[in-house]
Structure formats: structure tokens, C-alpha cells
Amino acid sequence: MHKSKLIKLFRGLAKTELLEFGRYLKTPFFNRDANLVKLYDYIKKHYPEFESEKLGKSFFLKKMTGNDSTKDRRIHDWMSDLTKKLEDYLIIVEMRNKPLTRDFVLLDVMKDRQIDELFFRNIKSMRNRLNTAIERDMFYYFYKWRLKHEAYFHGNKSQKYKSERDIEGTMLDMDKFFCAVKLRYSSEMMNKEFMASHNHSIALLPEVLKEIQKPTYRENQLFKIYQLIIEIFYDEKNETYDKLERLIFDNLHLSQRDEKLTLLTFLMNHAARRVNQGHSQYRKKLFDAYVYRINNDLILEDGHISAARYLNIVYLATTLHQADWLGSFIQKNAKYLNNNIRENTSLLAEAYLHFAQKEYKKSLRILAQTGGSDLFYIYVRTLTIQCHYEINQDAEIVLLDCNNFNKYLNRNENLHESAKKSSKNFIKFVRLLIETPYKKELTKEKLTQKLDSIKEVNAGPWLMEKIQELKR
């Protein structure tokens, strides 16, 4: 049973739903087969992992019938029937959680039974509720169009409902829905293609961009936001970002959570691209977007925060000297890391916090305890070298750290080339910093030019700070 559809559905139930499904099964209106209740009770004992060997079909059959042969058709029939009951229950839960979905099903009921007065009354009620909602995303236009569509194609030609047969309004709502969807999908595609260096044309996008210039679209700023998201890919002067940033933060309330995250992701991806292109002012903009997500409960996914995202935030805060903010962030959010990576991720974050607080020896003590993957090792070795440099110990210690790190990079064949390149560039510049007292040609100006010309380097902002601290 472990790999059956039934067990997969059971794994998707919250504890409250598991118990409610039991009450559902024991209600005669929904189920009259006592064997399904017994099967439910048997499966329930193994919640939530459902990994016990006793979930094998033979175990249940032996308990129920004394026959442990999995060829017995009864177990297959019971599992099939219980699966259907669970699917029916989940549909009820879905309609309960999404009133609009329930209302559209109810419209079909009224249409099929020719209860026309209630059908059109519900259409009007649903439209009013839709118009009073805050969100104005693509789903808003989809539901507006669908209501017009249902009313127009209802079939009742009575003069009483003539105003509902509005083909012009139906077409306009369909156009708005199409434009909203096309802009959203185009933004997604352009973002992915930009990241992958593809350059595919998008059918009808120029026509959509022309269409949304009409006055009827100006009442919703989301159309303008997506227009700017598309324009930003062609903006080499970086003039679009600030306008887009203001529009997004001012109008995120118009979107549901999923689209809020999408818009913020577009904004942050662009800021990250600009940082990688050498525009350091976008680092603060990227940090501000993270802070917005944290303050508005938009940072967690399925109740967790990934190690990569967590460390990106920690690194940005360290780079921008936001030590007080970073301490508060770590205290409040470390608990949301997955258990299997929490210890090492938390240790590394604490090491960065002490570094930001200029407590370099404390940072080194914590780094010595930090293990983990190759990615963690790169963070650890980079920060270790930074700490030794800041402590102002003998240059030989820093150079020894660099040599050991370089040997690790050379012998590790699993590391991505970009990670190797960034780390080797970091080592190269630390060595140059060590050599500056002995080489007159290594001036602040020349090192700055060298660093500006390199796009892939670990701890770039810190290296630039150290270069600017040089006396010549």
C-alpha cells in the first residue's frame, strides 16, 4: 500500500483533516461500508509517515479476513472505494476553503435545473463580491470574464435578463484577462530566458503592450507594472528599476500571495543581475526587498526558509553593516530552517554576525565548528580568510589559508566552475592586498580598476573596502 494513490492522498492530510475524514466516513449519508471505516482506522494509526511495514496489504488482509494473500480482490476494492471517498472529501474541503469555486459549481446546478431567477441573482452577487475584493490580478479578470460568459450563454432569452447578455462587456473582460495572462507569462518567460541567455520572440506581446495603453487599462497599476518588468530587460541605462520598484511596493495589495511573490522575485532577480554587473547600489535594493518580504510574511515557503535564501540574507546584511538587524533576523528565523541543515546554517550565520560586529576571534571559533556541503565550505574558508586578515596577524597565516583553500578548489571536481572562479578570484585579490606594501605598482587606483573589471568574486564588497583603506 505504501506507493498507492490512497496512501499518497493520506500523506497530504493535515491532522485535523485526517480526523474530520474519519467522521465523514462514519456518516451514513457519505458511506455505508463498514470495511472502509476499518481500513481507514488501520491506516490512521500510521500517520503521518505511513512508512511501517504493517501497511502492506497482506498485514491488513490477515487482520480483516485471516487470509494474507494479496491476490484477494477485496483489498483492492476497499482501497479503490476508500480512495474515491477521500477524493470526494477533499473536493468538499476545497469548495469550503474557496467560496468562489463553490459558487461556480452552484451556478451549474441552477443552470442544469433551470432555476433561472436564482442563477442570475447569484451571478450579480458573485460579481459584487468580486468587485469589492482588493485583488486585481489575472484571476480577477478571469472570474469577471467567466461570469459574463456564463450569463451570456445561459440560454434564457427573456427580456428580464437582457442586460446580462452583454457580448461587448464579455469581449472586453476577455481581452483584459488575456492581456493580464500574456503579460504575466511573458515576464516569466523573459526572466527565465534572460537567466539562460536565450532570446525567443513572444507571439502577440507587441499587440498586448499596445492594447494596455488604452484608458480602460489605466485604472489597474498591475498592467503598468508588467509593462515595466518587460521594459527593464531592454533598459541598459538602469532608468526603469526605480519606477518599477515604487509601483510594485505601492500596489502589491492588488495581488494575491502567489503573484506578490512573483513580482518581488522579478524585482530581486533584476537587482541581483545589476549587482553581478558591478552596480553595487543595487545590493541595498536587494536587501530592502528581502526586508519587505520578511516584514510582510512572504519569506517562508511551506513553513520553511531555504539555507541558500537564509545565507543570502545574512551575507547581504553583513555586507551592508546591518549587524543589529542581522542579530534580530537570526534570532527570529533560524527556527524555520529545515532540521537537516539547521545546525550548520545557524553556525555559519552566527559567524557572519560576529564578523559584522567586528568580533573576529569569536567568528573564527564558530567557523571551526561548522561543517556541511561544498557550498558551506566555500563560505567558511572565505570568511576564515577575511577574519584572519582583519585580525592583522602575520601575513603568512593569511597566505597559508589562501594556499589551502586553493588546493581544495583544484582537487574538487564536483564544484561548479563559477564557484571555483569566484573563489580563486577572491584568493587572488587577498594575495594582492598582502603584497601591496612591497609592490609600488599595486596602488589603490589600479586594484580598484582590477576589481571593477571582475564580475565573479567572493566577498567583493569587503575586498573593495580593504582596497579603499590602503594608503596609496
Could you read off the pLDDT of 19-76 as tens digits, one per residue?
999 999 999 999 999 999 999 999 999 998 888 888 877 777 777 776 656 566 888 8
**Residue 296 φ then ψ, to 5°:** -115, 25
pLDDT band for 200, please (50, 70, 90 cuts). Answer: low
Could you give phi then psi for residue 444, rounded to 5 degrees? -60, -45
pLDDT for residue 193: 64
Could you give the percent of the chain with pLDDT greater than 90? 74
pLDDT at 194 over 70: no
- Can you say whether the dihedral through the CA atoms of 408, 410, 412, 414 is positive or negative? positive
Angle at 325 between CA 320 and CA 330, to 5 degrees: 110
Mean pLDDT of 409-435: 94
Beta bridge mates, 304 = 301
How far apart CA 60 and CA 67 sit, in angstroms, is 9
Does the structure show a pLDDT above 70 at 137?
yes
Higher-confidence residue of 419 and 198: namely: 419
Taking every pair of Cα atoms in the chain, the longest distance, rounded to a whole number of angstroms, is: 95
What does 170-231 look like in DSSP terms, one character per residue? HHHHHHHHHHHHHHHHHHHHHHHHHHTT-----TTHHHHHHHTTSGGGTT-HHHHHHHHHHH
Q: Which amino acid is at 313?
A: I
The more confident residue out of 237 and 21 is 21
What is the pLDDT at residue 284? 96
pLDDT tens digit sequence for 380-420: 999 999 999 999 867 899 999 999 999 999 999 888 899 99
CA-closest candidate to residue 321, choices 143, 461, 423? 461
**CB burial of residue 266 (10 Å; 0-12, 13-18, 19+):** buried
Rg (CA), the chain: 30
Give the count of beta carbons closer than 10 Å to the beta carbon of residue 429: 23
The whole-number pLDDT of residue 235 equals 79
Asked if pLDDT for residue 142 goes beyond 60, the answer is yes
Q: How far apart are CA 7 and CA 52, in angstroms?
A: 12
Q: What is the pLDDT of residue 143?
A: 97
| pLDDT at 472 > cutoff 80 | no
How far apart, in whole angstroms, are the C-alpha atoms of residue 408 and residue 378? 10
Distance of CA 300 to the CA centre of its chain: 8
pLDDT (average), residues 269-296: 92
pLDDT over 70 (residue 196): no
* Residues 319/328, Cβ–Cβ less than 8 Å: no
For the cut 60, the answer to whether the pLDDT of residue 122 exceeds it is yes
Which residues sit opposite 301 in a β-bridge?
304
* 349 CA to centre of own chain: 21
Of 140, 115, 145, the residue nearest 129 (C-alpha): 140
Dihedral angle of Cα 325, 328, 332, 337, to the nearest 10 degrees: 60
pLDDT of residue 455: 82
Dihedral class, residue 457 (left if φ above 0, else alpha if ψ from -120 to 50, else beta):
beta
Average pLDDT over residues 310-331: 97
Backbone φ and ψ of 321, nearest 5°: 60, 40
CB 240 within 8 A of CB 231: yes
User: What pLDDT was estimated at residue 1?
Assistant: 73
What are 179-193's pLDDT values in tens digits? 999 999 999 998 886
Please name the residues in contact with 396: beta carbons below 8 A apart, sequence gap of 6 or more. Answer: none
CA dist 380 and 315 (Å) reads 12
Length reported for the chain: 472
Query: Helices marked H in 12-159 — which ranges?
Result: 15-25, 34-44, 57-65, 73-97, 99-112, 116-132, 138-152
Mean pLDDT of 422-448: 93
Residue 248: per-residue pLDDT = 94
- Per-residue pLDDT at 165 exceeds 60: yes
